[in-house]
Amino acid sequence: MDNSKMKKRNIKSPAILVLTALIWGFAFVAQSVGMDYVGPFTFNCVRSILGGMVLIPVILVMDRIGQKKGIEGSGQKTDKDRATLIKGGVCCGVVLMAASSLQQIGIMTTSVGKAGFLTALYIVLVPVLGLLIGKRCSWRLWISVAMALAGFYLLCIKDGFSIEKGDICLLLSALLFSVHIIVIDYFSPKTDGVKMSCIQFFVCGLVCGVFMLIFEDFNIASVMAAGIPILYAGVLSCGVAYTLQIIGQKNYNITIASLILSLESVFSVLGGWLVLHQTLSIREGIGCVVIFVAVILAQL
């Protein structure tokens, strides 16, 4: 990759990942409102299937454009390509299902502050898990991770920290989101990111649907009552943001990517302020500043 392409990637990838974090941050508001009407598996089932359906016309248009322009790799042309695509989509979908479901369950049974902090632990777990598969990161990135953790503490933790059932769910969720980032990092350079994202959502939705039928009472009226939050979570948070994550992470440092994506907690606070009219304390404002400094340091 020449210098001009590298510079373009260094600007494009962070911008895509920041947009992803913004959409996810405001999705916390949608998740909070939606859970007033439906259970966690129902919410994730419907929004994931919506996310997959949104991507089908996008894939068809992109394939047609790619074929007209003669872009190499615009379609999966070999059995090996198709197998890699399906394998990546299934792996991402199963991990995403487990991570997002545990997050939804955790949000139901613990405070929002703890939920934000515990979910954000994936910014530490990603480089730690990366070491296990041979990925190295510099001491500056570790300083950034430490600063980001300190910022999240100031932003999210207000009461005494104790381990409860919901906290354990969120800890496991953070671990699985870390695995999800690493799985994407492995498969995204090998296949079409948008198609893999589409498959992962249908897999996630179908598996959640099984758990929904076992543990919850599916009710159309309740789903319709939660229509706007589900539409936001399905179309934007799933269909758009997770696809942007795959595109933004492609050939990009996963530790820096995880730091940028962790800004979703900052945007969730901003979303609560704008939509739910919640106010930011001085402590929370300092936490936001510390996190932004950590991200800038990681970029430098």
Torsion angle, alpha carbons of 173, 178, 179, 184, to 10: 120
Q: Could you count the other beta carbons within 10 Å of the beta carbon of residue 11?
A: 10
Q: How many angstroms from the chain centroid is the CA of residue 85?
A: 20
Q: Would you call 266 exposed, middle or buried from its count of C-beta atoms within 10 A (0-12, 13-18, 19+)?
A: buried
Residue partners of 293: CB distance under 8 A and separation at least 6:
147, 151
- At residue 127, the pLDDT reads 75
| Structure confidence at residue 100 as a pLDDT band (50, 70, 90) | very high
Least confident range of 43-52, 75-84, 158-167, 262-271: 158-167
Token readout for 2 is 């020449």
The pLDDT of 5-18, averaged and rounded, is 74
The alpha carbon dihedral of 255, 256, 257, 259 has a sign of positive
Cβ(172)–Cβ(163) below 8 Å: no
- CA-to-CA dists, residue 183 to 112, 224, 267, 270, angstroms: 28, 34, 25, 30
Instruction: Answer yes or no: pTM beyond 0.95.
Output: no
- Please tell me whether residue 138 adopts helix, strand or coil conformation: coil
Q: Would you say residue 27 has pLDDT above 90?
A: no
Chain segment 237-263, per-residue pLDDT in tens: 888 887 788 788 877 887 788 788 878
Cβ atoms < 10 Å from Cβ of 68: 9
Cα 188 from chain centroid?
15
Q: Which two tokens stand for residue 144?
A: 């950034």
Amino acid identity, residue 99?
A: A
38 neighbors 222 (Cβ within 8 angstroms): yes
CA–CA distance, 18 with 22 (Å, rounded to integer): 6
